């Protein structure tokens, strides 16, 4: 059975999408069958693969309102093991449109469940909020991977996120576990960056991935070429760091989570 991993943090710009794209691509490069779901109405994961959202007839929104199936929406990528479910700005309205619908927080879970036989990993890129869409993602997931940017306010908001995870465990998904906290955008020349790593490790101990993602310009350039970083410049430090993260995630899947 495939493992479903949500990439979530309600804080904006911490590296969720960069992680979703490059973790998925790195797992696919290791010949794991991966489905990457873009549930963020901003659609950055979708465009990061060079997919023109305007040209798509159907997307995840149509699954939410019951007008399409995941198998019809998914798109193949340049990596043979990796498929993607594209997002749309229309997802912003889905919550309101679905008011009164029973179990509307389980729409994604129901859609994803039959796909667990086809994929070894299903990765979900969440929006920067703890609203309806993130609730759907966390209800559908086995684990949550939390990117944390190595900057001064890094820990701010983490308590709120972990409380939300606990509430979802109590109400919707008792099986939800933490995959790990991922330190992102580490700048070796910046003292604060080192201090944040120490503080997060002291606080969360073995919940933190050994891999730390460096601040690396190649990672920010790759999406404008419509490619994950391993296809843009595999020798860059950014690419190597995501390959190393993928190895940790594969080990977690083999051994059970940390
Ligand atoms: P949002 O909350 O808006 O969805 P996000 O958490 O998905 O944002 P990203 O889009 O992945 O964050 O990253 C924010 C910006 O930082 C982007 O421009 C991205 O290219 C850049 N970025 C992310 N990770 C790195 C990195 N390790 N090195 C350099 N730039 C990075
Ligand atoms: Mg994003």
CB atoms within 5 A of ion ligand 2 belong to 16-17, 44
pLDDT one-digit tens code per residue, 95-147:
889 988 889 999 999 999 999 999 999 999 999 999 999 999 999 999 999 99
Q: Give yes or no for a contact between 136 and 171, defined as CB atoms under 8 angstroms apart.
A: no
Q: Looking at residues 185-196, what average pLDDT do you find? A: 94
Find out whether the beta carbon of 7 lies less than 6 Å from any atom of ligand 1. no
Mutation probe of ligand 1 site: the residue of 13, 189, 209, 243 with most atoms within 8 A of C-beta: 13
CA of 44 to the centre of ligand 1 (A): 10
207 pLDDT higher than 70: yes
185 lines ligand 1 (CB under 6 A): yes
Nearest ligand, CA 193: 1
Task: Taking residues 148-154, report their average pLDDT.
Answer: 90
pLDDT one-digit tens code per residue, 58-101: 999 999 999 999 999 999 999 999 999 999 999 999 988 998 88
Under 8 Å between Cβ of 63 and 71: no
Residue 207 is classified by DSSP as G
Radius of gyration of the chain (CA): 17
> Is any ligand 1 atom within 6 A of the Cβ of residue 186?
no
Q: Are strands 121-125 and 34-38 parallel, antiparallel or unpaired?
A: parallel
Query: Can you give the pLDDT at residue 86?
Result: 98
Determine the distance separating the centroid of ligand 1 and the alpha carbon of 98, expressed in angstroms.
Answer: 30
Residue 257 has pLDDT above 60, yes or no: no
Q: Could you tell me the pLDDT band of residue 154, with boundaries at 50, 70 and 90?
A: confident
pLDDT for res 258: 47
- The finding on whether 240 has its CB within 6 A of some atom of ligand 1 is no
The per-residue pLDDT for 152 is 86
Q: Would the pTM count as exceeding 0.95?
A: yes
Q: Which whole number is the average pLDDT over 45-68? A: 95
CB atoms within 10 A of CB 116: 16
Q: Tens digits of per-residue pLDDT, 11-40?
A: 999 999 999 999 999 999 999 999 999 999
What average pLDDT does range 152-175 have in this prediction? 92
Binning pLDDT at 50, 70 and 90, where does residue 181 land? Answer: very high
Alpha helices in the chain (DSSP H): 16-29, 44-48, 60-64, 70-73, 91-97, 107-112, 132-140, 158-171, 191-204, 217-221, 229-232, 237-255
Question: What distance in angstroms lies between residue 22's CA and the mean position of ligand 2's atoms?
Answer: 12
């Amino acid at each position: 059975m495939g493992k479903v991993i949500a990439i979530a943090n309600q804080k904006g710009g911490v590296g969720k999408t960069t992680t979703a794209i490059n973790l998925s691509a790195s797992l696919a490069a290791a010949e794991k069958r991966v489905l990457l779901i873009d549930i963020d109405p901003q659609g950055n994961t979708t465009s990061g693969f060079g997919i023109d959202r305007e040209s798509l007839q159907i997307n995840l929104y149509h699954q939410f309102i019951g007008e399409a199936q995941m198998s019809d929406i998914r798109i193949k990528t340049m990596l043979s093991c990796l498929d993607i479910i594209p997002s749309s700005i229309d997802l912003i309205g889905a919550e309101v449109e679905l008011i009164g619908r029973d179990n509307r927080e389980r729409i994604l879970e129901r859609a994803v469940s039959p796909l667990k036989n086809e994929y070894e990993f299903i990765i979900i890129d969440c929006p920067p909020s703890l609203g309806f869409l993130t609730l759907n993602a966390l209800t559908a997931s086995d684990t949550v991977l939390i990117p944390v940017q190595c900057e001064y306010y890094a820990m701010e908001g983490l308590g709120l996120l972990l409380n939300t995870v606990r509430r979802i465990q109590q109400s919707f998904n008792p099986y939800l576990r933490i995959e790990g906290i991922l330190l992102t955008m580490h700048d070796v020349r910046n003292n604060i960056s080192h201090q944040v790593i120490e503080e997060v490790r002291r606080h969360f101990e073995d919940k933190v991935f050994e891999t730390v993602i460096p601040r690396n310009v190649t990672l920010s350039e790759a999406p404008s070429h419509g490619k994950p970083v391993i296809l843009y410049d595999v020798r860059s430090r950014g690419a190597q760091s995501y390959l190393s993260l993928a190895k940790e995630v594969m080990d977690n899947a083999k051994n059970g989570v940390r």
